[in-house]
């Protein structure tokens, strides 16, 4: 039996968790069984350089997702693709329609990565996505919480959904976390006091504003500095909040970092302040780096990754006072308890090892490819 061609479709190989997940799956995919093809819109993504050399990489000549259906369908035909894999709702919609319009035997698998919905408009849109998802060969959710959201808001059958956690490249983390910092970054860690770190796009979902307020509240208790990795539209608003709180010089925006692990591994604490997550790749990466985590108990990933607080600390979404208290508790742990939690976290991270998780994806691909195409 020849190799099966798997086409991975994403908006761009940018700085987000979805792109990192695809990168880990593509690079760890069994080359004796599968041949990966990556297709993106016409953008330059920060993870492109990390793709293995044997990956066929195609960029569509458009930056508009809505114009990519027939272009993608054409590639499916020309490249003799056996299966299309995609993630993120709008991308999943295009991938599913393109697979259908290719008029081939190609199958498709869609992955849902977040707990979406809330307003009437959003919930109505999710019903539409659910209708399209029913056309796919298989739906994958990256946590049990996301699966429940797919059932309740997308109106999908539980039987059509498989839960597969995000793959974390532990081997890569073990190498990159020891990389040296440049002088200006290294100085932050040499100022004395504790270093708190967060990473994520500067958008409302990540709610760095609550973290900054919690950081302000703990100033009298713990000498500390805060590092924020990531870029986004709310940077100016967050900078104004920092200045108004008198925290200038204590909070450091370092932008997107291709190697966040060298910062995470050196930090005393990683904090996630999100309003909602599907899984939270960065929490798994943090415990794998040997760093203790404080996270909001948002729907739905953090509590699953940390097993209800067994491997880290959880606090209420948007509650800066409780977050501040949990940060202080984490930073003042007696050394034996601290080391015990770090060791347990590293063991927990093994559950998400890319080599293990990608085998689960391969099993799904094999199962889907063995079935007759749904029409």
Same domain, 362 and 341: no
| pLDDT tens-digit readout, 126-156 | 999 999 999 999 999 999 999 999 999 999 9
| pLDDT tens-digit readout, 255-291 | 999 899 999 999 999 999 999 998 888 999 999 999 9
pLDDT at 374 over 80: no
Q: Do the beta carbons of residue 312 and residue 288 sit within 8 Å?
A: no
User: Which three-class secondary structure state does DSSP give residue 255?
Assistant: strand
Same domain, 332 and 359: no
Inside any domain, residue 297: yes
| pLDDT tens-digit readout, 306-356 | 999 999 999 999 999 999 999 999 999 999 999 999 999 999 999 999 999
Q: Do the beta carbons of residue 143 and residue 278 sit within 8 Å?
A: yes
pLDDT of residue 373: 60
CB atoms within 10 A of CB 303: 22
Instruction: Quote the CA–CA distance of 156 and 146 in Å, as a whole number.
Output: 12
Residues ≥6 apart with Cβ < 8 Å to 249: none
Q: Token pair of 252, please?
A: 């450091």
Per-residue confidence band for 360, with pLDDT thresholds at 50, 70 and 90: very high
pLDDT of residue 15: 67
Same domain, 184 and 308: yes
CATH number at residue 35: 3.40.50.2000
pLDDT of residue 317: 97
Same domain, 273 and 358: no
| pLDDT tens-digit readout, 7-33 | 999 999 986 778 989 999 999 999 999
Inside any domain, residue 375: no
pLDDT at 301 over 90: no
Count CA within 13 A, CB hemisphere, residue 54.
11
Inside any domain, residue 108: yes
Inside any domain, residue 250: yes
Domain count, the chain: 2
Inside any domain, residue 52: yes
């Amino acid at each position: 039996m020849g190799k099966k061609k798997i086409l991975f479709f994403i908006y761009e190989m940018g700085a987000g968790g979805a792109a990192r997940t695809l990168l880990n799956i593509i690079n760890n995919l069994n080359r004796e069984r599968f041949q990966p093809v990556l297709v993106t819109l016409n953008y330059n993504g920060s993870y492109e350089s990390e793709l293995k050399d044997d990956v066929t990489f195609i960029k569509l000549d458009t930056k508009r997702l809505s114009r990519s259906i027939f272009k993608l369908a054409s590639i499916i035909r020309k490249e003799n693709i056996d299966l299309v894999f995609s993630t993120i709702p709008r991308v999943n919609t295009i991938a599913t329609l393109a697979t259908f319009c290719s008029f081939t035997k190609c199958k498709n698998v869609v992955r849902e990565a977040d707990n979406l919905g809330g307003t009437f408009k959003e919930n109505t849109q999710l019903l539409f996505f659910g209708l399209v998802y029913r056309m796919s060969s298989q739906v994958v959710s990256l946590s049990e919480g996301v699966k429940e959201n797919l059932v309740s808001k997308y109106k999908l059958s539980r039987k059509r959904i498989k839960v597969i956690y995000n793959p974390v490249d532990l081997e890569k983390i073990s190498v990159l976390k020891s990389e040296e910092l440049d002088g200006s970054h290294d100085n932050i860690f040499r100022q004395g006091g504790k270093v708190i770190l967060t990473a994520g796009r500067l958008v409302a979902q990540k709610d760095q504003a609550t973290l900054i307020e919690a950081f302000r509240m703990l100033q009298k208790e713990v000498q500390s500095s805060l590092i924020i990795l990531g870029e986004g539209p709310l940077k100016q608003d967050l900078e104004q909040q920092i200045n108004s709180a008198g925290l200038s010089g204590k909070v450091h925006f370092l932008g997107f970092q291709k190697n966040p692990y060298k910062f995470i591994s050196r930090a005393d604490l990683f904090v996630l302040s999100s309003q909602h997550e599907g899984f939270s790749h960065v929490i798994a990466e943090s415990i794998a780096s040997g760093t203790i985590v404080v996270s909001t108990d948002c729907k739905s990933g953090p509590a699953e990754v940390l097993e209800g607080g067994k491997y880290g600390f959880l606090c209420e979404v948007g509650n800066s006072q409780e977050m501040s208290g949990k940060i202080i508790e984490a930073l003042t742990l007696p050394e034996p308890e601290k080391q015990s939690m770090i060791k347990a976290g590293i063991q927990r991270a093994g559950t998400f090892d890319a080599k293990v998780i990608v085998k689960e994806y391969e099993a799904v691909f094999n199962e889907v490819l063995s079935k007759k195409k749904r029409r």
